[in-house]
């Protein structure tokens, strides 16, 4: 009878743990974005954290890069380990272009937060 009681207790404890969901992450590629691709790599991962921080992740090194101001602030405060986004951005082909348009990638990452 004692063995049965321990089994019931064990099952109760095991079943009562909540399921923790991970933040949404997707892989995007140069093939999807064509001329609007802004990264040195052919593929990157995009992540939306629960606080709205958007990150680009290099799949081969798992290094993170902030995509929005929330993530950039976390990097500055050393709340996350990350490198500046400029590290993985392509250099503009036309040197008169000073900025790279991250809007298409940013919108894709923001859509992850809606799920």
d(CA 108, CA 88): 18
pLDDT for 114: 84
Burial classification of residue 75, based on how many CB atoms lie within 10 Å of its CB (0-12 exposed, 13-18 middle, 19 or more buried) = buried
Q: Taking the complete model, does pTM exceed 0.85, yes or no?
A: no
Structure tokens at 114: 């809606």
Below-70 pLDDT ranges, the chain: 1-23, 93-98, 115
Which residues make Cβ contacts (< 8 Å) with residue 57, sequence separation at least 6? 25, 44, 45, 46, 47, 63, 64, 65
């Amino acid at each position: 009878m004692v063995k049965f009681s321990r089994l019931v207790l064990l099952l109760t404890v095991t079943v009562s743990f909540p399921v923790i969901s991970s933040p949404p992450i997707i892989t995007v590629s140069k093939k999807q974005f064509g001329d609007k691709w802004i990264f040195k790599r052919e593929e990157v991962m995009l992540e939306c954290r629960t606080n709205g921080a958007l990150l680009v992740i290099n799949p081969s090194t798992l290094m993170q890069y902030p995509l929005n101001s929330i993530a950039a602030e976390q990097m500055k405060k050393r709340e996350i380990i990350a490198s500046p986004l400029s590290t993985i951005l392509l250099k503009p082909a036309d040197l008169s272009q000073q900025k790279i348009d991250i809007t298409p990638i940013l919108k894709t990452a923001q859509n992850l937060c809606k799920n």
